[in-house]
């Protein structure tokens, strides 16, 4: 037996207990992330019994941060962000400012200094990407307009937090903490300018060299046909760039790993890179959350219950209301506002990273870190309930609140079809709900065959572009009767629901059939069980994505193999 097995003990205890508590959390309909954090609390110094090595756990946490941010970079799409930029960029920035201000005012009321209040407010302002993505995937709305807005919003938040991680160390001395670096730290502007220059050099190097080198290296390794070598290349790039960026450019591990993932996305093998690295990213992500839990002192719940309540209120009420108000101000439907608000009603990994950095720089007291962790635990545990409440809240608000109805209907020129639309386009037309990848192709086919159609789309930017091209389009949620009425569903020949959001499909079909009993309906899904259920309910003609893909490929294969005529087995 070796004398030093602290690393093995820490990993074994952390992963084993995280698996047990994560399973229990999942069975209780809560995110497994709660179980991982609780596992860290159990093996941490604040609870009796076995105590894992905190220093080793911290290093494992750094690896977890690298791989987490590498995964964020792999999924970062500039095109997706640009599609919702008019709401995601200003919305995220204003929401961060509001939440940070709420946190700072609260911290000031507690007697904390400026630096502690700033770090505390920033930590409460950013939601967890991991929790958000899993919540949207569980509800099948990740690829919907609501999902894209929420993800775009989170991407902007992540980028702002990356900037905060870069700027906090040189600003620590001014904010009342321990200055980062020794000599010359008294000259704030020199230090700050030097730091920004190094970050700019790193970003330029990654954008100019990285986006050319990484895809090429990945392609060369993929040609070897070795799966383990490909996986090793992906992980080595993530960890190597993160380490090199920290050593050479003094930027955070998180920023380095993020850019490594973003540059890797430029490769045609990016999806394979994401799939191959996923198990290792998941394992080290678990260790990251376990190590965070080890830092949490449960006594804060007993000693400072009112402060914990204040933190949870900022996260789940203050942030949510700010986000809902901002989305409604941009004239998006109530459903979109509630979805984005629910998505942001929690905090996660970036909050932990900021809290850890704040403590290390002498800015944030340990009590603040415990309060942030308590807020994260409670908000993540309750987030699924917030999502479940969207539909009842929306129904109640529309039925009983005249203000809610006015917010959705007030002076929005995109919510009504222009009077200039030719009436020939509004009789026997196709009402196309959703103008994403599938809807766009359907629209192109209809245009090529001179078949009239009206688009109902939640993305206001897309509606503006469609109208500029002379295509009749109305902005809004098609589960709202007013939207389908504006699309003249009563005189339509067919309703085609091309959006991947199957959550409101039944309501759309019900409204359409109420206004037009003879209308034919067509819809899509990627879930086989959902497809069977919709078919039994006679909702309309259901197309299952995987089935149609297999059907098209089979027909091509049979045609190329010389089989002619219609095969009934297809």
Whether the CB-CB separation of 106 and 124 falls below 8 Å is answered with no
Ramachandran sector of residue 185 (left: φ over 0; alpha: ψ -120 to 50; beta: rest): alpha
Q: Which residues are registered as beta bridge partners of 525?
A: 544
Whether the CB-CB separation of 280 and 228 falls below 8 Å is answered with no
Q: Distance of alpha carbon 510 from its chain centroid, rounded?
A: 31
**3-state DSSP assignment of residue 551:** helix
Whether the predicted model's global pTM rises above the 0.85 cut:
no
Give every strand in the sheet of 430-433, ordered side by side.
Answer: 473-475, 453-457, 430-433, 494-497, 520-525, 541-544
Q: Which residues are registered as beta bridge partners of 523?
A: 497, 542
Residue 252 burial (CB < 10 Å; 0-12/13-18/19+)?
buried
What 321-324 contacts at long range (C-beta under 8 Å, 24+ apart), as own/partner pairs, is: 322/94, 322/95, 322/98, 322/99, 323/91, 323/95, 323/153
- Nearest-5° Cα angle at 347, 346 to 349: 145
Identify the residue whose tokens are 């049979």. Answer: 558
pLDDT for 399 equals 72
**3-state DSSP assignment of residue 475:** strand
Q: What is the pLDDT along the chain (570 residues), one digit of tens a residue?
A: 455 788 888 889 889 999 999 999 888 877 787 888 889 889 988 888 888 888 888 788 778 778 877 876 776 665 666 677 788 888 889 999 999 999 999 999 999 998 899 999 999 999 887 777 777 777 767 666 777 788 788 878 877 887 787 778 878 877 777 765 443 444 557 766 777 787 788 878 887 777 788 888 888 888 888 888 888 888 888 888 888 888 888 777 777 887 788 787 777 777 777 777 777 777 777 887 788 788 777 888 888 899 999 999 999 999 989 988 888 888 777 778 888 888 889 887 788 888 888 888 888 988 888 899 889 888 887 887 888 787 787 777 767 766 666 655 545 566 677 766 777 778 888 999 988 878 889 999 999 998 999 999 887 778 888 888 888 888 888 888 888 888 888 889 899 998 876 667 888 888 899 889 889 999 888 777 777 888 788 888 888 877 787 888 888 888 888 776 555 455
> Distance (Å, rounded) from C-alpha 218 to C-alpha 223?
9
Q: What is the DSSP letter of 187?
A: -
> Distance (Å, rounded) from C-alpha 47 to C-alpha 234?
38
Whether the CB-CB separation of 26 and 253 falls below 8 Å is answered with no
> Distance (Å, rounded) from C-alpha 82 to C-alpha 523?
27
What stretch of H or E contains 165? helix 145-171
Whether the CB-CB separation of 386 and 339 falls below 8 Å is answered with no
Whether the CB-CB separation of 119 and 364 falls below 8 Å is answered with yes
Whether the CB-CB separation of 501 and 140 falls below 8 Å is answered with yes
pLDDT for 566 equals 54
Exposed e or buried b for every residue in 192-214, given b needs 16+ CB within 10 A?
eeebeebbeebbeebeeebbeeb
- DSSP string covering 399-411, please? HH-HHHHHHHHTT
pLDDT for 565 equals 58
Ramachandran sector of residue 476 (left: φ over 0; alpha: ψ -120 to 50; beta: rest): left
């Amino acid at each position: 037996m070796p004398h030093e097995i602290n690393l093995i003990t820490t990993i074994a205890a952390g992963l084993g207990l995280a698996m047990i508590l994560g399973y229990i959390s999942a069975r209780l309909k809560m995110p497994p992330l709660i179980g991982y954090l609780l596992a860290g609390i159990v093996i941490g110094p604040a609870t009796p019994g076995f105590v894992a090595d905190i220093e080793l756990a911290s290093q494992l946490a750094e690896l977890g941060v690298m791989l987490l941010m590498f995964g964020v970079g792999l999924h970062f799409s500039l095109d997706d962000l640009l599609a919702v930029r008019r709401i995601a960029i200003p919305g995220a920035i204003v929401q961060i400012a509001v939440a940070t201000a709420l946190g700072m005012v609260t911290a000031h009321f507690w007697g904390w200094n400026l630096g502690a209040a700033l770090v505390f407010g920033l930590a409460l302002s950013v939601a967890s990407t991991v929790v958000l993505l899993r919540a949207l995937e569980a509800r099948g709305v990740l690829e919907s307009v609501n999902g894209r807005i929420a993800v775009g919003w989170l991407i902007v938040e992540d980028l702002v937090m990356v900037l905060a991680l870069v700027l906090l160390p040189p600003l620590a001395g001014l904010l009342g903490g321990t200055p980062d670096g020794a000599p010359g730290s008294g000259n704030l502007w020199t230090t700050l300018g030097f730091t920004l220059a190094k970050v700019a050099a790193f970003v330029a190097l990654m954008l100019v060299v990285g986006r050319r080198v990484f895809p090429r290296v990945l392609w060369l390794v993929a040609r070897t046909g070795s799966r383990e070598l490909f996986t090793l290349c992906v992980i080595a790039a993530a960890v190597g760039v993160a380490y090199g960026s920290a050593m050479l450019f003094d930027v955070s591990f998180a920023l380095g790993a993020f850019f490594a993932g973003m540059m890797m996305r430029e490769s045609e093998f990016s999806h394979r890179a994401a799939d191959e690295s996923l198990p290792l990213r998941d394992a080290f992500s678990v260790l990251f959350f376990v190590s965070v839990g080890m830092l949490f002192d449960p006594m804060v719940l007993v000693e400072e219950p009112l402060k914990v309540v204040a933190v949870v209120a900022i996260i789940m009420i203050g942030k949510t209301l700010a986000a809902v108000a901002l989305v409604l101000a941009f004239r998006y439907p109530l459903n979109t506002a509630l979805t984005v608000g629910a998505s942001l009603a929690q905090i996660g990994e970036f909050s932990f990273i900021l809290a850890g950095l704040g403590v290390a720089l002498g800015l944030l007291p340990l009590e603040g870190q415990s309060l942030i962790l308590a807020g994260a635990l409670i908000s993540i545990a309750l987030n699924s309930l917030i999502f479940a409440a969207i539909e009842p809240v929306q129904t109640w608000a529309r039925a009983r609140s005249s203000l809610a109805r006015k917010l959705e209907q007030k002076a929005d020129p995109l919510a009504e079809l222009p009077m200039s639309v030719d009436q020939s386009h509004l009789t026997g037309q196709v009402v196309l709900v959703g103008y994403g990848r599938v809807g766009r192709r359907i629209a192109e086919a209809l245009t090529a065959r001179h078949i009239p159609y009206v688009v109902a789309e939640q993305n206001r930017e897309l509606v503006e572009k469609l109208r500029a091209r002379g295509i009749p389009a109305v902005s809004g949620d098609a589960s709202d009767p007013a939207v389908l009425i504006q699309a003249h569903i009563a005189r339509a020949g067919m309703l085609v629901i091309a959006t991947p959001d199957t959550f409101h499909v039944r309501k759309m079909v019900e409204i359409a059939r109420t206004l037009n009993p003879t209308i034919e309906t067509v819809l899509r899904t990627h879930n086989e069980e959902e497809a069977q259920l919709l078919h039994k309910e006679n909702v309309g003609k259901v197309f299952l994505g995987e089935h149609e893909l297999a059907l098209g490929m089979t027909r091509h294969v049979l045609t190329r193999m010389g089989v002619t005529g219609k095969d009934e087995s297809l």
